[in-house]
Amino acid sequence: MATLPTLSSEELERYARHIVLRDVGGPGQQRLKAARVLVIGAGGLGAPLLHYLTAAGVGMIGIIDDDVVSLSNLQRQIIHGTSDVGRAKTESAAEAMHLINPHVKVEAHHTRIMPENASSLISSYDVIADGSDNFTTRYLVSDTCCVEKKPLITAALGAMDATVTTLRPFEKNADGVLNPTYRCLFPEPPPAGMVPACAEAGVLGALAGLAGSLMALEVIRAIVGFGEPLVGKLLMIDARAMRFETVQYRWDSDNPLTGSNASL
């Protein structure tokens, strides 16, 4: 078992509310410091996620995003400011994260995750969090995390709704059955044009903050190991009715990743 890193006196004070928390404690905080987390997207979901992972003391955080900050982002992408318009989101986010917590190291990947680089990027981190805004990336990331055996927290944001789930398809549940893949939940992406982009449909800024914070909670849970994660469970948030609902889903033997006749 690897030796956990020590916490400095300044870190002990900074993380004091975690350390006195029975479900985290000193060892849990040390695990956070030792962890490497990759966040895909520094946008609506990624911004609050990066805030809380940085504040929590995750030792190394990677950010993948090839976009630049625009004025219309600032209504929800709270890690960027007005003076950052035109800057690379990875650069802007990294600078803000350093101001939040200088003990956290940041690896900025100003690129788009593609089939050519997905494995090399994902394999070097312990936990992956996907806040991307398109189905192509979600399927690529979830497939790669399954192959590389990396826990994945993935979320999707609509105009007034959001979903969050955790994927660990390389492990079995208490019944000895494999945990589901993303393709067990959504076998195929919706037809092109069926789900409008946020530029067309709009998005409630505070909802992005809520969903991104829940992603951060699931990442911290995956590292520290307390409670029950959203494995095999899809958390659905309805901002209009302020309603939270959890739907269970299971391994599908027809899924192409871990199914009976796996083809991917």
pLDDT digits (tens, 9 = 90+) for 205-251: 999 999 999 999 999 999 999 999 999 999 999 999 999 999 999 99
| Cβ-based neighbours of 173, under 8 Å, separated by 6 or more | 179, 231, 232
Averaged pLDDT of the chain: 95
pLDDT digits (tens, 9 = 90+) for 105-151: 999 999 999 999 999 999 999 999 999 989 999 999 999 999 999 99
Residues 52-81, mean pLDDT to the nearest whole number: 97
Q: What is the pLDDT of residue 199?
A: 66
Helices (H), 22-174: 25-34, 46-56, 89-100, 118-122, 135-148
Domains of the chain (ranges, CATH numbers): 18-248 (3.40.50.720)
Query: What's the whole-model pTM score?
Result: 0.95
Taking a C-beta distance cutoff of 8 angstroms, is the pair 28, 47 a contact?
Answer: no
Q: Which residue has the tokens 């530029």?
A: 199
Q: 194 pLDDT band (50/70/90 cuts)?
A: low
Q: What is the pLDDT of residue 42?
A: 97
Bridge partners of residue 238, in order along the sequence: 161, 243
pLDDT surpasses 70 at 181: yes
pLDDT digits (tens, 9 = 90+) for 74-118: 999 999 999 999 999 999 999 999 999 999 999 999 999 999 999
pLDDT surpasses 70 at 159: yes
Residues 59-79, mean pLDDT to the nearest whole number: 97
How far is residue 107's CA from residue 224's CA, in Å, rounded to a whole number?
22
Bridge partners of residue 157, in order along the sequence: 162
Of the listed ranges 30-34, 174-178, 193-197, 199-203, the least confidently predicted one is 193-197
Q: What is the pLDDT of residue 230?
A: 98
% of the chain at pLDDT higher than 90: 91
pLDDT surpasses 80 at 197: no
Q: What is the pLDDT of residue 193?
A: 66
Strand order in the sheet with 60-64: 105-109, 60-64, 36-40, 127-130, 152-157, 161-167, 233-238, 243-248
Taking a C-beta distance cutoff of 8 angstroms, is the pair 156, 147 a contact?
Answer: no
Q: What is the pLDDT of residue 195?
A: 67
